[in-house]
Structure 1
Amino acid sequence: MQFLRLLLLPVLALTAAAAAPRRACQKAIFVLSGDSTTAPQSAGGGGWGNGFKNTTLLAPSFAENHAVNGRSTQSVLANGEWAGVLDAVTKYKSQGSVYVTIQFGHNDQKLVNFTGQFEVNLKRMVGDVKTAGGVPILVTPLARRTYTDGVLTDKLADWATITLSVAKQTKTHKIDLLKESMRYLTAIGEANARKFDLVADDRTHLNDAGSVVFGRMVSDLLVAEMGEPVRCVTKADKELSKKIKDGVMAI
């Protein structure tokens, strides 16, 4: 009898595990903060934000794109847009988990001797989001599609390094969009990369198709970083995700 009981233990354990209720998926709200490489498509810019917002989330989860063309960490803090991001956290935190993506660097690098202040500003933004009740996610800058003799040029490494350092220092979630976008753009080559340009020879901003592709890239990185809480609110696109992973042109 004892021997039979021992034989049945693994079966009973598996049955109990299968019968256990699955933890409910909590609604997620994504608040996107950044410069024109996150912002909605317009005459002056456009990034991955609207592609992420419009194609990667399952209702009732949703995203708001608060990114603004031309912004650095300094100007977004000074001009009032950052206050709007924090207001969104306060507004939505009773509905579910509020994730705030923070992606800057393109315009910060245009400021003289600004690396130290960039670090200070990112730390402030991380602290503000946590205090407001949100979950900050630091995002390294989207790569520029600039090639020299067919080789993609990395112009944002210093700013990505600071972003990742702040994430480590503050124990904050992060995704390395610069690394992943450079890997993908290197794989597809310059001729294909030009198909993502907002207008001819715009090597920074994305058209609608580019926003969808790089919005999916951000989504895949977030799922890898955050796990089930983000995976369960994500509308999968296995074909597009595979093309990105394999370095295959996606449009």
Structure 2
Amino acid sequence: MDTATFAANLEGLTKIVQNAGCSPILVTSLCRRTFTGSTLTDILAPYSDQTIAIAKKLGLPLLPLLADCRAYVQKLGKGNAQQFNFDYDTTNKDTTHLNALGWKYFGRMVADEVKKNVPALAANIKADDALSAKIAAGTL
């Protein structure tokens, strides 16, 4: 899907949610854990940019998961980042979906961003300072 279609769909769906009386929170995508040499590759930034623009346009909270994910995965490096692959124990080729370890780390990123960017929900987020520190340091 091209980015213009993505943006139109996201804005339309978001407005439907708002019109239903809900308060949407937009989240940029998780990065794919693919590397060229030692550099994390990124094909999702244009979609993230559209999500950011829609959040600004509609005055909605935004969770910048792609930026957080990219920073963390780049620090980890390819070998460590592969441990989050859904199929890590078998073919280890799925760099898009997450296994339980990935859920833990990237779920923590989302929780920390909710606490930071959505004050109305902050009290509902249980801190995990040790895990947040590992993410900030780029370690497992």
Say whether the fold is shared (TM-score over 0.5): yes
Richer in strand (by share): 1
| 1:1-54: CA deviation from partner (whole Å, max 9, x where unpaired) | xxxxxxxxxxxxxxxxxxxxxxxxxxxxxxxxxxxxxxxxxxxxxxxxxxxxxx
Tell me the CA shift for residue 171 of structure 1: 1.0
Match status 1:243 vs 2:134: yes
Tell me the CA shift for residue 132 of structure 1: 1.3
Tell me the CA shift for residue 234 of structure 1: 1.1
Match status 1:231 vs 2:122: yes
Cα distance in 1 for residues equivalent to 2:107 and 2:5: 28
Structure 1 unpaired stretches of 5+: 1-110
Cα distance in 1 for residues equivalent to 2:59 and 2:94: 35
Match status 1:130 vs 2:21: no
| 1:74-95: CA deviation from partner (whole Å, max 9, x where unpaired) | xxxxxxxxxxxxxxxxxxxxxx
Q: What's the TM-score once normalised by structure 1's chain length?
A: 0.53
**Aligned residues: percent identity?**
38
| Aligned residue pair count | 136
**In the alignment, which residue of structure 2 is the partner of 1:214?**
106
Richer in helix (by share): 2
Q: What's the TM-score once normalised by structure 2's chain length?
A: 0.92
Q: CA RMSD in A?
A: 1.1
Tell me the CA shift for residue 246 of structure 1: 2.0
Q: Per the alignment, in what secondary structure is the counterpart of residue 136 of structure 1?
A: coil
Moved over 6 A (4+): none
Cα distance in 2 for residues equivalent to 1:214 and 1:146: 16
Structure 2 unpaired stretches of 5+: none
**In the alignment, which residue of structure 2 is the partner of 1:152?**
40
| 1:38-73: CA deviation from partner (whole Å, max 9, x where unpaired) | xxxxxxxxxxxxxxxxxxxxxxxxxxxxxxxxxxxx
**In the alignment, which residue of structure 2 is the partner of 1:173?**
61
Tell me the CA shift for residue 116 of structure 1: 1.7
Which shows bigger deviation, 127-136 or 139-148?
127-136
Match of 2:81 among 170, 184, 193: 193
Cα distance in 2 for residues equivalent to 1:117 and 1:154: 20
Task: Determine which structure has more spread, i.e. the larger CA radius of gyration.
Answer: 1
The residue correspondences of 1:1-251 to structure 2 (distance < 5 A) are 111=1, 114-199=2-87, 200-227=92-119, 229-249=120-140
